[in-house]
Structure 1
């Protein structure tokens, strides 16, 4: 049994990490969050030490390492705001623990290079959650694509990616609404989709920004084996009629060569599966995120073209 610490235990995604820690037979011994509405801990690890000040959390982790043989923390799970991931990964490595970090791992490509140096110096490992790579439907699609490429090595697939997840007014008041902290819509809700696309269709050869604002991110990607029109939004106003009529607040669609690919289910256990892979030494490391981090960084710094070229059809509805 390994000991875990968790940074950002008050956040939305933290319960999935606590569930994964518990279901893999491990123990959460310490957690930190500046907010103290963290009663969810009782459902998993009521004996975990909790801190609202990072300095006291840091001291506790250090004391466990120095004064309690066998009680030291082996893994630090990071569920903090995106812009703090880099600093919290560094903390994990400094305390002689491996890091397990939520997406996006970092906001900029050069952060990966710096972390790689620290990883090598410390002898510890940085792991990231890229759960779509473990989704059975995604694996099946990848295998199907590979079979087609074995017959047609130069084939280019035509892909439309659409993802809308409604968010209320709170979203734009929180750190998620601040592009400097979250990376914007494309980074915050889209980075794992871009990783999935690279995982299936290969590396990026072209990256075009059509729309980038507080609610919408849309663009065009050309990958080694795919032409991708994509549209992401946190605004319910852009939900298609089929979703609005059924009362859905989320809409997720991938169309590959005019065939819709369904993967709306199968997400509940992906964090636990991710932890199992990490604990067995098969986690996704720093090199695996270079593609998706490069995509969102380049999109974030590009000049939006508007409705020109190969744009996603949903772009026409954006005001």
Structure 2
């Protein structure tokens, strides 16, 4: 049997040239089509989102924000948990900067043993890396709300502090906060004294401050005695909130080691649980006269 003859597909020089051209052209066409397909969707380069409407609005919005509040509206106090989450958790959630970690009984045990009053004053005044009031202001969170946060954190770490008593409506903020602290951490007798002090300080007559250049009271001694009876005795008569008791020479001795101007400064601007001017709006001269009246009774 004879085999069928084999014929090459390219028989002429023209067919050879066409095949060579096709072998180059077809891949090039395929590559171009693939590039067009891949690049068909619109894409933005890096940084072009900075011109979007949202980004532009974010850059040109004002830095300051006006928060309008009704001064006559009743104060709605935040819970201890709310204050903790908004302020304290920044450090206490992880124990950053040496802060006692939330729910860690080992961290909190030595603090709890110092008592609520010490913890509360530490939170208000600051300690170590912790700024006063956790970096907030009294306009942001009242002393009472700070006290709630302290109780919330301590009780979640093994303490059994009672919830601070809510300040009475109309009471001075500082006086109410101090009374709430004592109610939370003191004995029943101390809490009763603090409640009496709070009631007395809340009822202090809020007379208008004298105009600039006004004359001092004609009888400074009588003015000092009157202010003591109206305001200062709420705490100093019985030694409430660690106030030096009226006429107690030993209690006053430590205070009188400082210059009298320092004692005046404490009375005018507050110290510890004592609010500035005892929560009153008395003149500086009358406050100093009240200090002189108490000091003279302790000599």
**TM-score using structure 2 length:** 0.25
Structure having greater relative contact order (Cα 8 Å, sep ≥ 6)? 1
Structure having the higher strand fraction is: 1
Structure having the higher helix fraction is: 2
**TM-score using structure 1 length:** 0.24
